[in-house]
């Protein structure tokens, strides 16, 4: 079960030096159903990453509330896994030991944890590299390991903050395909931040398009395309065109 | 066995040749030009003095004593320096409280502590150990602190969302391993400083034994050939300690940094 409700969330940053205020989010509200794949899309600086970090419990909100299955979120919790845009693997641990980290934190013995995570290593296709250190991996492999690490905790929601942002276009497409496979197998709720319209249309059930700062929900677009999807089908193109126009409006408003 | 021995000689021939030439020049200059055992003892003199020391066993005692002083100092410096650096790096308020004290004490040359080392501890091993400690503790504190300051934020956040939220756990599982290269570099710097402090402390009488003490004692006796023996012994021991540390610790502890520039 992973039902996320974002209820009128606002976040204002106050600069220490001159007490100037920046409104990052303003009364953002939407729901994400259990097992749904939702993308947060918006112009850069619109607060989508801030919102995701609030859901993860890494950032606080100024007003409003976010609940997971009806229970308010107060801080980080392994129930809400997160994959970061930057490479976040622990460089001093091997791929295997990175993935067992969450289980070790739950008090499961390393030997036991290693057996348990084997399936996640296979799921992301890193069997060959399980004893490698992060510096020996390519960017794409590092992000795969980070996804496996988040999944090993069996989270109810997986939060992804532009996880493929730093990858080249081809690796990106491959990882998108793999991510959908994982999503279909695991059926956890995915909340995915991106600035790529193509990515949002290809991956998600719904796209939450946000306005420029202060970030509000501009429109929630249903992507009713059958899966597996074709990246360049006429329907996908029409939706892409529609969402791009939404974003363009925001750009012109500035 | 024989082949590998020849191979080693072949591979290091330039290094070996260079050493041999320097020793030959030394011997020739001492014997032919200076001709004064007090101003420049010859290589041959030094070697015979060394074997004389080995024969009566005195040298082993002094090596042992010096290493004892050194280990007293390094143990104290590690026990105090690392936790202090950790708490300064992790808790801002501790840093604000401790930093001014450290900044005042740190520029004092460790050797300036010798009078108090003697007053507080007498002519004991602890006195020499204390001077070594003073020399070692600051590089260790500062490098531990720097290592902790530079722990990538994304690693800390990743750990938090994976269920590692308490300070103690974050320090143990994230900050310490992440800061390890910096801590190790600090210990290596500290060992160089500590070794110098050790010799000076023993020379200035903070102890009645040890290699530094013997070096100074033989100088009073004008036995310069023995002074050179102790100089070389100090150099080789320092080199040995550093190499042991470098190969052992780096290979074991810091495998993961192979791809990064430290």
Instruction: Report the alpha-carbon distance of residue B148 to residue B212 in Å, rounded.
Output: 36
Pairwise CB contact (< 8 Å): B162 & A91? no
How much is the pLDDT for A129?
92
Pairwise CB contact (< 8 Å): B163 & A92? no
Q: Which residues of chain A have pLDDT under 70?
A: 254
The pTM of the full predicted model, rounded to 2 decimals, is 0.85
Choose the closest CB to A56 out of B161, B169, B256.
Answer: B161
**Chain A 97-136, residues with CB within 8 Å of chain B CB atoms:** 101-102, 105-106, 133-136
Pairwise CB contact (< 8 Å): A78 & B162? yes
Residue A57 near chain B (CB below 8 Å): yes
Chain B residues near any Cβ of chain A (below 8 Å): 154-155, 157-165, 169, 173-174, 177-178, 180, 255-260
| Percentage with pLDDT > 90 across chain A | 57
**Per-residue pLDDT reduced to its tens digit, B113-154:** 999 998 999 888 999 999 999 999 999 999 999 999 999 999
Q: Which of A237-251, B177-191, B220-234, B238-252 has the lowest mean pLDDT?
A: B238-252
- Residue ranges, comma separated, of all CATH 3.40.50.300 domains in chain A are 4-79+155-253
CATH architecture type of domain A4-79+155-253: 3-Layer(aba) Sandwich (3.40)
CB pairs under 8 A between A and B: 79
Choose the closest CB to A135 out of B154, B164, B259.
Answer: B259
Q: What are the two backbone dihedrals, phi and then psi, of residue A10, each rounded to the nearest 5 degrees?
A: -125, 150
Choose the closest CB to B158 out of A80, A84, A135.
Answer: A84
| Per-residue pLDDT band at B262 (split at 50, 70, 90) | very low
Closest to B164 (Cα-Cα) out of A196, A130, A104 = A104
CA-nearest residue of chain A to B154? A88
ipTM score of complex: 0.90
How much is the pLDDT for B258?
65
Instruction: State the nearest Cα–Cα gap between A252 and chain B, in angstroms.
Output: 34
Whole-number mean pLDDT of chain A? 90
Q: Can you list the positions of beta strands (E) in chain A?
A: 4-14, 21-32, 37-41, 63-68, 71-72, 80-83, 157-161, 189-194, 206-210, 217-222
User: Which residues lie below 8 Å from residue A51, measured CB to CB, with a gap of 6+?
Assistant: A6, A9, A11, A25, A28, A40, A193, A215
Please give the DSSP secondary-structure letter assigned to residue A230: P
Q: C-alpha angle with apex A238: A235 to A240, nearest 5 degrees?
A: 110
Residue B260 has pLDDT above 60, yes or no: no
How much is the pLDDT for A51?
93
How much is the pLDDT for A207?
93
Contacts of B177 in chain A (CB under 8 A): 90, 92-93
CA-nearest residue of chain A to B259? A135
| Per-residue pLDDT band at B3 (split at 50, 70, 90) | low
Contacts of A87 in chain B (CB under 8 A): 154
pLDDT, average across residues B70-97: 95
How much is the pLDDT for B36?
84
Pairwise CB contact (< 8 Å): B157 & A84? yes
Residue A176: enclosing H or E segment and its boundaries?
helix A169-186
**Per-residue pLDDT reduced to its tens digit, A229-238:** 888 889 889 9
């Amino acid at each position: 079960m992973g039902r996320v409700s974002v209820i009128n969330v606002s976040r204002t940053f106050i600069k220490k030096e001159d007490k100037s205020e920046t409104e990052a989010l303003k009364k953002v509200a939407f729901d994400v159903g259990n097992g749904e794949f939702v993308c947060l899309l918006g112009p850069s600086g619109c607060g989508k990453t801030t919102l995701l970090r609030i859901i993860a419990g890494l950032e606080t909100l100024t007003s409003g509330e976010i609940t997971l299955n009806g229970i308010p979120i107060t801080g980080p919790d392994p129930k809400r896994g997160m994959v970061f845009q930057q490479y976040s693997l622990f460089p001093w641990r091997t791929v295997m030991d990175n993935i067992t980290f969450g289980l070790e934190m739950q008090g499961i013995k390393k030997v036991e944890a290693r057996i348990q995570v084997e399936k996640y290593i296979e799921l992301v296709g890193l069997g060959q590299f399980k004893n490698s250190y992060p510096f020996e991996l390519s960017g794409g492999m590092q992000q795969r390991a980070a996804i496996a690490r988040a999944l090993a905790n069996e989270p109810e929601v997986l939060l992804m903050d532009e996880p493929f942002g730093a990858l080249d276009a081809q690796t990106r497409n491959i990882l998108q395909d793999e991510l959908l496979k994982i999503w279909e197998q695991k059926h956890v709720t995915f909340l995915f931040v991106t600035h790529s319209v193509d990515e949002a249309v290809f991956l998600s059930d719904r796209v939450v398009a946000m306005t420029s700062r202060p970030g509000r929900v501009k429109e929630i677009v249903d992507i009713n395309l059958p899966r597996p999807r074709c990246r360049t089908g006429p329907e996908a193109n029409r939706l892409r065109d529609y969402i791009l126009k939404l974003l363009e409006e925001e750009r012109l408003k500035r | 066995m024989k082949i590998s021995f020849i191979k080693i000689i072949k591979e290091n021939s330039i290094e070996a040749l260079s050493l041999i030439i320097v020793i030959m020049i030394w011997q020739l200059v001492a014997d032919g030009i200076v001709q004064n055992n007090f101003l420049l003892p010859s290589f041959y003199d030094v070697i015979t003095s060394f074997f004389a020391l080995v024969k009566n066993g005195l040298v082993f005692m002094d090596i042992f004593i010096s290493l004892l002083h050194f280990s007293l100092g390094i143990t104290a410096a590690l026990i105090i320096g690392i936790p202090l650096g950790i708490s300064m790096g992790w808790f801002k308020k501790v840093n604000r409280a401790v930093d001014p004290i450290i900044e005042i004490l740190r520029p004092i040359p460790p050797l300036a502590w010798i009078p108090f080392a003697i007053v507080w501890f007498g002519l004991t091993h602890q006195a020499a150990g204390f001077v070594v400690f003073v020399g070692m503790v600051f590089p260790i504190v500062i490098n531990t602190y720097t290592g902790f300051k530079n722990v990538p934020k994304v690693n800390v956040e990743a750990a938090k969302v994976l269920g590692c939220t308490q300070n103690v756990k974050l320090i143990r599982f994230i900050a310490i391993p992440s800061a390890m290269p910096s801590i190790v570099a600090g210990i290596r710097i500290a060992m160089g400083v500590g070794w110098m402090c050790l010799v000076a402390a023993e020379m200035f009488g903070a102890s009645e034994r040890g290699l530094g003490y013997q070096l100074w004692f033989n100088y009073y006796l004008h036995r310069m050939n023995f002074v050179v023996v102790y100089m070389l012994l100090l150099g080789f021991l320092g080199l040995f300690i550093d190499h042991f540390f470098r190969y052992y610790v780096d290979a074991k502890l810091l495998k993961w940094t192979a791809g990064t520039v430290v």
